[in-house]
Structure 1
Amino acid sequence: MFWPRALPAVTPRPAGFGLPAVAQSSLHPFIAAHCQDIMQLNQVRERFEQIELCIDDAALACRSSGYAPQEVKEYVGELDRRSDQLKHAMQQAQDPATIREYLDSLDQVGERVMEACRNARHVDPQLRTAIQEARLEIAALKRALH
């Protein structure tokens, strides 16, 4: 089954921080129909919003940091593109397998950016933290949807 268990709680972010919320109606009807209840649908939306916020934090840290290797910057940009693709898939997908594929792709890029951070000599701590948080959020959503 596509929704095997409830998602862990999402850490709240400060008000006015990050992107606007993904509207419940923007989720594909297939996803909405397979949620056990509206609470689970809200949890999926909140988890995805957290992923977007973490990626935004990483992108901001890349722009403002003097310690962001080019490889890390490129992977953060790729995370942003893949998250946009996942968002579109969540709104338009015909089947859950497509959504899992986009989520797996996002997870793979997240692993590559973490590896790039580990291999870099100097990475701004704020950037490293934002990337780690994004990876944790992606992993939590992936576990919940697989």
Structure 2
Amino acid sequence: MLEAVTLGIGIGQPWRALYDSIWQPEFFPRWASGLSRSTLRNEGDRWRAQGPEGVAWIRFTPYNEFGVMDHHVDVGSGPEIHVPLRIIGNEGGAEVILTLFRQPGMSDEKFRADKQWVRRDLEALHDLMSPNGSGTA
């Protein structure tokens, strides 16, 4: 088993409204900094992106009634990386939770850096989707 950490942030919107606003792959570059300099291009059942380490291929979970936004990332060097991402209800708001798996051979330093990166991205999503943000999809 891979070491894993689950990170999350609360957003003051009903979960379904939030999910409906952000589930599309085209929305990810607005908050996911690894894709922020990229225009995602749909190429069949996957999307092509320019990530920080070069071209990445991403497969996204289709729209669903459960708030699942999982995606699989292929950077061309090793197996696809599964990124579980969920939007769940929390009374009148929502929790956005992402599980980060430590990849084989990943150093402690790199794993810590990836956790910080995910936290920054979740905070960017929070700011974007706050009442004063511009998160309308």
Which range, TM-score by smaller chain?
0.3 to 0.5
Q: What TM-score, normalized to structure 1?
A: 0.31
**Greater helix content:** 1
Higher relative contact order (CA 8 A, sep 6+): 1
